[in-house]
Amino acid sequence: MMNIRPISAERVEETRRRILDTVCSRQLTHEQKVTGLERLAESLIEVLELPADYPALKEQGIICDLDESNCPPRPRYIVPDYDLLFEKGCDFLRLDPPTDLDEALNVLAVFIRHVPSVTNFPVFIGFLDRLLEPFVLRETRETARKKLRLFMRYVDRTVTDSFCHADLGPHDSLTGRLLLECEADEPKSVPNISFLYDPDLTPDDYARLAALSALGSAKPSFANHKMFLRDLGADYALASCYNGLLVGGGAFTLSRLRLGHLAARAADRADFWEKLAHASETMLRYMDARIAFMTEQSGFFESNFLAREGFIRRDRFTAMFGLVGLAECVNALMQKEGKTLRFGRSEEADALGLDIMDRIEALVRAHQNPYCVATDGRFLLHGQVGIDSDVGESPATRIPIGEEPAELSDHMNNCGLFHGYFPSGTGEVFALEPTARANPDYVLDMVRGGFAKGGRYFSIHAGDSDVIRVTGYLVKRSEMDKLAQGQSVLQNTTALGLGAARNARILERKRR
């Protein structure tokens, strides 16, 4: 029997006011209103067995649940097995296995509209090159290109959330090349695309095409395929922002520790270590409570067609222990010790950052959850990309915007120090001078060098591109301008981008 706990009258009244504001909004689309109302409804129910100290740590801004409700109806991130879909079809959706490109694109179009996530939109729509290549090769190049272009346009206009993600590479394919050409010709913010890059497997001219596409459309991002293989095995996918997860599974939940807020409340380094251990343990137990409700009470894995037909399995899911603000944490601790050393600009400051990460990694590794079978009962560390309301706290382990090292190589070296801690993803964003379009080999040298130093994931766009990467997702500058003027926009992530532009200075990145 579920134990539904009462909530305060003040919270009920505040939620009622927000419901009315949502219903009466002149700026939100109908779909955005429905999604917002669902979240507000979930917020009125408290069923989780929360750790005693969790409410205080949340109120202090040290633990952030990333708007996951305390009555989770489904896992946060779902990564279906699309190969299985193309092999056997789907009974629930009455879809047969596709036999040509038209059917393949139609099957995908229907299926992805029924894949949920925390945003109610799919965060992964497949390895499009691998899935579609057999069908593309039966078409003329121009016919296939047109069909792929229309499909990608369909995704952009119907999946109105740029946490939707597709993967390409590492092997060459006509489909991958055509998709990159389509993105270069018609830049869109949805879907996000990762290019699984391995210089030993990926032809240079294919990678060069990816670089040129990225400069014009902020996609694809370059993922270190060798590193993800090492950490997750062959059956991994990159979903949402840059989340490394297992195909046929996903992530039950993602919460994040705000290290800058934690350091600000510590008296000194010794006090910080104690607070770090306590906050980490509290967040781990909070995540356990979410997972227990989802697996034991919500009924998702018993009722949803994805699980019933084998497109996902509960034993392929894990959970993501996220963090932000390592730079601000280090800088605050340095200041408390009377030092002016800054993260990303000092070996001593970076060494402290590594010490912090070693301790967090040990705490997370020591924790066991019975439902995270796919990752041996352990949660995976995740370098979280930040949210629109973050002020004065940088995503993951990134160097704060405005403090980037003068030399790109120093910036890359810093990435290499920290990216290895995060099997479920972390990354850095680089804005390049538009002149880089004349020299895509520069971009490839940059990526290869960064990967050789231990970098995991690099996102690139030209400084004059309309589509830009915010932190882990894409938006159009032109759409942010419309929203700032009070106009409605199609993608709900545009509002997140506008908030990040105002609060996190994402339009002020150092140009390389």
Look at residue 1 and tell me whether its pLDDT is greater than 60: no
DSSP E strand boundaries for 232-274? 236-239, 243-246, 249-258
Higher pLDDT, 306 or 497: 306
Q: Cα(440)–Cα(206) distance, rounded to whole angstroms? A: 11
pLDDT in tens, 306-350: 999 999 999 999 999 999 999 999 999 999 999 999 999 999 999
Contact 473, 427 (CB under 8 A): no
Give per-residue pLDDT as tens, 65-92: 998 888 888 999 999 999 999 999 999 9
Instruction: Tell me how far apart the alpha carbons of residues 166 and 175 are, in angstroms, rounded to a whole number.
Output: 13
What residues contact residue 480 under an 8 Å CB cut-off, 6+ apart?
494, 497, 498, 501
Contact (Cβ atoms closer than 8 angstroms) between residue 461 and residue 192:
no
In this prediction, residues 220-224 reach a mean pLDDT of: 97
- For 185-189, 196-200, 418-422, 488-492, which range has the lowest pLDDT when averaged over its residues? 488-492
Which pLDDT score is estimated for 2? 65
CB atoms closer than 10 angstroms to residue 17? 10
CA 409 to chain centre: 25
Q: Check pLDDT > 70 for residue 12.
A: yes
In eight-state DSSP terms, residue 121 is: S
Contact 72, 39 (CB under 8 A): no
The per-residue pLDDT for range 124-178, each reduced to its tens digit, is: 999 999 999 999 999 999 999 999 999 999 999 999 888 999 999 999 999 999 9
Using CA atoms, how far apart are residues 52 and 57, in angstroms rounded to an integer? 10
Whole-number Å distance between alpha carbons of 468 and 509: 11
Q: Give dist(CA 216, CA 460) in Å, integer.
A: 9
Q: How far apart are the first and last CA of the chain?
A: 58
Residue 440 CA to residue 195 CA, distance in Å, equals 15
Q: Please determine, for residue 205, whether its predicted confidence score (pLDDT) is greater than 80.
A: yes
Summarize pLDDT for 375-424 with one digit per residue, the tens.
999 999 999 998 877 888 999 999 999 999 999 999 999 999 999 999 99
Q: Please tell me the predicted confidence (pLDDT) of residue 52.
A: 94
Give residue 162's Cα distance to chain centre: 10
The predicted structure's pLDDT at residue 492: 67
Kindly tell me if the per-residue pLDDT of 485 is higher than 60.
yes
Does the pLDDT of residue 363 top 70, yes or no? Answer: yes
- pTM for this prediction: 0.93
The phi, psi pair for 91, rounded to 5°, reads -65, -45
Per the DSSP assignment, residues forming a β-bridge with 238 are: 244
User: Model confidence at 196, in pLDDT bands (50, 70, 90)?
Assistant: very high
- Give yes or no for a cis peptide into 170 (omega within 30° of 0): yes
Interior angle at CA 67, CA 61 and CA 68, nearest 5: 115
The DSSP 8-state label assigned to residue 127 in this structure reads B
111: phi then psi, degrees, rounded to nearest 5: -65, -45
- For the ranges 4-8, 73-77, 214-218, the lowest mean pLDDT is seen at 4-8
Q: Provide the pLDDT for residue 103.
A: 98
Average pLDDT, the chain: 93
pLDDT tens digits, one per residue of 445-458: 999 999 999 999 99
